[in-house]
Chains A and B, each alone.
Chain A
């Protein structure tokens, strides 16, 4: 679209008020309980200025930076799915009248979110959930309306996290599409500003209301270099060659048993994963028994009764649950939705209490599988 422009910190702040003026609720990164989470923002004062994070298997720590960067960290425990695919919602209520009842669908609300600070892997994660909820035979209207209303201010990563592997998954760190505006934060002794790319007409309209100037070619170059550097710093890598076949052929691999000894079946990995979409429903009635409701809530393939059939669980063992999770992300997702279900954000590694590392487990299976398949 238009050539890249430059805005400064005030411009970014002004962008928030412009969006609020357009009826958006702006949500983005902020510090809470020693983590960077996504919450409503009023101004850039709410951003995690001067913070960064240290991430590794089972480890997440906030640290102070020596500068005043606003986006100097990678992804935290939250993802945008909590806004597009709410953790819980009422689907409908029902009112009884004698032996009769009527169903009253929940009114479809139409919130307008502006997401500030969406990383490349997260843009891809949203595109992946689109395939689940709106691009198939059936459409989830709650997701659809939120998705269609959303305004995206993406941010190119200035550094990679310790568990990131977007380069392996082809999902980053460079923001490529789907955004309204995309920022690269430039910070040196003399400057603190943002190189802004425009991805939509609505993005251009917002920008028109801010003080900005055309970016010079060396500034655009500098922004590109930052992203290129980030790509060199990936904390993890994953070899995805024939990964579907590898996993399908190794459903009985002994490694699954080993993982099961460490895995707590706590479901953290699925809760933090930006593409995991499973849900369950709960039926409730009030004390009179005349009013019933049905709620939809996030669920996980690690929970107790996820596969319950009368007579018991299909996946009773932790082994089978972990196997389901990993093979779904990396293998069966391809058959179901035409892409990987993993964007390499690293959250599942960081937030796994016993630090089970997805990339390492696949590597182990790959290495021993080749050994196994060699003629004896």
Chain B
């Protein structure tokens, strides 16, 4: 069960105020906000894959996945790409400043259910952010899992997130990390091409693999069909879906995807549950 029941008398539409504990520049257009509750209340309990609604004063509120705390730290981290009005306002926040936060909301990655299996994580662009807490959770109990694979694709080498952590994941935990870019620059020595082309470069046992996929919808479609081709069963594929959402609690109706509410039933879905609607144009 993801998320908590609403405590009685609490209006789920009212944010709490949080303070920026740390502002981290990740790339030219992406940054992370490490935030702590004002007034020092208990740290938030969340499941990897869940998201928060972040509010920038007077500007608006947007859904942003939880991308950490990093192991051993406390602040809730949100990794955000500056793409529009609200994300720009969040980009301008500095250490010590206030923002509004509601959450956590939504479903989570199948961390428990994957025990005893190989895990393939596939991310496109900012899609690595919601997967990072999943990776942390897997690595925390590394011996419970078989192979752990991270396949990560971005447009340009400069868009790669969390690059400093790759070596730890590889070296200390034996994660097979493979990267690819759509367009290389002069220094890039790695793979070029879409992320599913990386599947052939790693070892895992398809029948006993759980795949967690997050990225643009097209990328996920290709990833799903490629993993299926390798023999990973549909019930072991997990994808995320992104839709406009205003309330995050199933009241506003915006995020419907066929029968699913992205906010309550997702954003992480077992692929076979959404399959009939996956890929229908303008659904």
Contact = CB atoms under 8 A, between A and B. Distances in A.
Interface of A: 91-92, 94, 96, 99-103, 105, 108, 132-133, 136-141, 248, 251-252, 277-281, 283-285, 289, 292, 294, 296, 299, 301, 305-310, 314-317, 319-320, 324, 328, 331-332, 335-336
B282 A314 contact: yes
The prevalent SS among residues of A at the interface is: mixed
B250 A136 contact: yes
Given A251-B283, A285-B58, A332-B256, A92 B14 contact: yes
Given A101-B17, A101-B57, A277-B253, A307 B244 contact: yes
B254 A280 contact: yes
A141 B10 CA distance: 8
Contact of B14 (A91, A310, A328): A91
7 contacts: A279-B246, A279-B251, A280-B252, A281-B61, A294-B61, A317-B282, A328-B256
B258 A332 contact: yes
B152 interface: no
Contacts of B253: 277-279, 299, 301
A283 B62 CA distance: 12
Interface in B147-186: none
Given A100-B97, A309-B244, 20 more contacts: A94-B57, A103-B14, A103-B15, A132-B251, A137-B3, A137-B5, A138-B12, A138-B249, A141-B9, A278-B254, A279-B251, A280-B246, A283-B59, A283-B61, A299-B252, A305-B244, A310-B83, A310-B84, A320-B282, A336-B259
Interface in B57-103: 57-61, 83-84, 94, 96-98, 100
Closest 6 CB pairs of A and B: A278-B253, A320-B282, A335-B259, A138-B249, A285-B58, A292-B58
Contact of B280 (A102, A132, A251, A278): A251
A140 B58 CA distance: 23
B44 interface: no
Contacts of B5: 137
Given A137-B3, A140-B251, A279-B247, A248 B97 contact: no
B115 interface: no
B234 to A, nearest CB: 18
**Most chain B beta-carbon contacts within 10 A, residue among A132, A283, A284, A320:** A283
Contacts of A310: 83-84
B106 to A, nearest CB: 11
A299 B247 CA distance: 12
Contacts of B251: 132-133, 138, 140, 277, 279
Nearest to A100: B98
Nearest to A140: B251
Interface in B233-273: 242-244, 246-247, 249-254, 256, 258-259, 261, 264
A296 B13 contact: yes
Nearest to B281: A320
B141 interface: no
B64 to A, nearest CB: 13
B40 interface: no
Nearest to A281: B246
Contacts of A332: 256, 258-259
A333 to B, nearest CB: 8
Nearest to B15: A103
A289 B252 contact: no
B98 A105 contact: no
A284 to B, nearest CB: 8
Contacts of B247: 279, 281
Contacts of B259: 331-332, 335-336
B6 interface: yes
Interface in B21-64: 55, 57-61
Contact of A103 (B17, B83, B264, B283): B17
A331 B246 CA distance: 23
Nearest to B251: A140
A316 B244 CA distance: 13
A132 B282 contact: no
Given A99-B94, A328-B256, A316 B282 contact: yes
B96 to A, nearest CB: 7
Given A132-B251, A279-B246, A105 B14 contact: yes
**Most chain B beta-carbon contacts within 10 A, residue among A136, A138, A317, A331:** A138
